[in-house]
Amino acid sequence: MEKILIFGGSRFHGYQLAQSLSKTGNEVNVLNRGNFRSEYPLGINLIKADRNDPASLKTALLKKEFSAVIDNSCYTPNQMRISLEVLSGKFQHYVFTSTIAAYLTYASEQKLKEEENYKSDFFPPNIKEYALNKLAAEQVLRTSFKNNTILRVPNVFGEGDFLGKLFFFDQRISQGRKILLEKEVDKFSLVYVKDLVKIMQETVLNEKCINKTINIADTAPHSYVDFFSSVYKNFSLGSLLLIPAKDLWEKGYFPLFPWMPELDCSLQNKIFVPSFTPIKDWAPKTLEWEIEYFKTHIHKGGLIGELEDKLTCVKCLKT
C-alpha cells in the first residue's frame, strides 16, 4: 500500500484519480480548502489547507509522509516552491500535472515534442500568463527535486467536466448559431478523463517516468470536423466559422478553451502502451452528463457565468 497526497482532488480528473487510487488499496489524501467538496468516500482523507499559505500547509502536513505527491492544483512557481519546501524530505516522487499551453505556441505544422522549444509570439493573450506560470512551475520542480515527473496534458473531456465544454457547443448548434474557431488550428490533441486517470495512476512511483516530461494524450488524430461530427448528431459543416485567430483576439473573443496543436506522444506510448476510448464512445455520455449538470448549475458569475456570456458576446462578429 502506498501513501499518496493529491493537491486538489475535489473536482473532475483529480477527484476521479483519488477514487481510482483508493480502490486499488492505496492510502489517498487530498489537500484542498474543502470549499467545493467537504466529504469524500471511504478511503480518501481530506486534508484542509490553503496551499498559498506556508504556515497553513506546514501545520496540515506536520508529521505526515507520503510515497508520492500528485500536484493537480499548482498554477504558479511560488505555489511549487511552497509545496516543495513544506514537503521536503517527506516524499519520494513528485508528479506535476502541467499543460500543453507550456509550449507557448498556438500553431504548428509538426507535433509538439517534449524536448523542443516552440515558444512563439503567436499565442492567445488571455492564457499567456497562465502558460508562463505553468512553465515556470515546471522549472522550479526540475531544479529542486530530481525524482519528478511532469505530465503535459491537452484539453480533458469526460463526465464530471464542470466547465461545460461540450454543453457550450451543444447550445450554439441547437440555437442555429455559428461556432467561431481559429482557422490556424488544423490537428489537435485531447484526452478522455478516464484514460487520463489510468495513465496518471501508472505514473506514480514508476521508475520509467522519473525525471521526465511526458505528453499525455489520445493518439488518434483529431480535427474540427472529426470532433464535432463525432459529438453532435445535428452538426453540419455550415455551423463552423473559421476566422484568423488575431481577428478574433483583437475583437476580444476567445473560444471557451484553447485547442492548441497536436502533441507527439511517442514517449507516452513507449512507457505505458496505453489504449484510448474512441470519441464516439465517450462523447454521448459526456454530453448527457453536462446537460444534466447545467440544468441545475447555470447561474451568473464565475465559470458558468462566463460560459453564459460567451453565448451572446459575439454579436460584433455577426454570428
Q: Are 141 and 94 in contact (CB under 8 A)?
A: yes
Residue 295: pLDDT band (50, 70, 90) is: confident
Q: Are 113 and 261 in contact (CB under 8 A)?
A: no
In this structure, the answer to whether residues 236 and 119 fall within a common structural domain is no
In this structure, the answer to whether residues 32 and 93 fall within a common structural domain is yes
Can you give the pLDDT at residue 36?
84
In this structure, the answer to whether residues 9 and 154 fall within a common structural domain is yes
In this structure, the answer to whether residues 91 and 180 fall within a common structural domain is no
Can you give the pLDDT at residue 311?
42
Residue 16 within any structural domain of the chain: yes
Nearby residues of 43 by Cβ (< 8 Å), 6 or more positions away:
22, 23, 27, 28
Is residue 319 predicted with pLDDT exceeding 70?
no
Q: How many angstroms separate the CA atoms of 175 and 248, rounded?
A: 21
In this structure, the answer to whether residues 254 and 198 fall within a common structural domain is no
Residue 302: pLDDT band (50, 70, 90) is: very low
43 CB neighbour count, 10 Å cutoff = 15
In this structure, the answer to whether residues 74 and 106 fall within a common structural domain is yes
Is residue 314 predicted with pLDDT exceeding 70?
no
User: In the beta sheet, which residues pair with residue 79?
Assistant: none
Task: CATH number of the domain at 54, please.
Answer: 3.40.50.720
Residue 267 within any structural domain of the chain: no
> Per-residue pLDDT tens for 207-246?
999 999 999 999 998 999 999 999 999 899 999 999 999 9
In this structure, the answer to whether residues 256 and 135 fall within a common structural domain is no
In this structure, the answer to whether residues 131 and 179 fall within a common structural domain is no
Span 111-129, average pLDDT: 91
Span 76-82, average pLDDT: 97
How many domains does the chain divide into?
Answer: 2
Residue 268 within any structural domain of the chain: no
Residue 167 vs residue 313, higher pLDDT: 167
In this structure, the answer to whether residues 125 and 230 fall within a common structural domain is no
Residue 265 within any structural domain of the chain: no
Can you give the pLDDT at residue 299?
52
Is residue 312 predicted with pLDDT exceeding 50?
no
In which region does residue 95 sit, left (phi positive, over 0), alpha (psi from -120 to 50) or beta (all else)?
beta
> Per-residue pLDDT tens for 18-45?
999 999 999 999 999 988 888 898 899 9
In this structure, the answer to whether residues 72 and 172 fall within a common structural domain is no
Residue 306 within any structural domain of the chain: yes
Most confident of 32-36, 53-57, 182-186, 193-197: 193-197
Residue 272 within any structural domain of the chain: no
In this structure, the answer to whether residues 154 and 44 fall within a common structural domain is yes
Residue 69 within any structural domain of the chain: yes
Residue 21 within any structural domain of the chain: yes
In this structure, the answer to whether residues 140 and 233 fall within a common structural domain is no
Q: Which domain holds residue 139?
A: 3-158+189-215
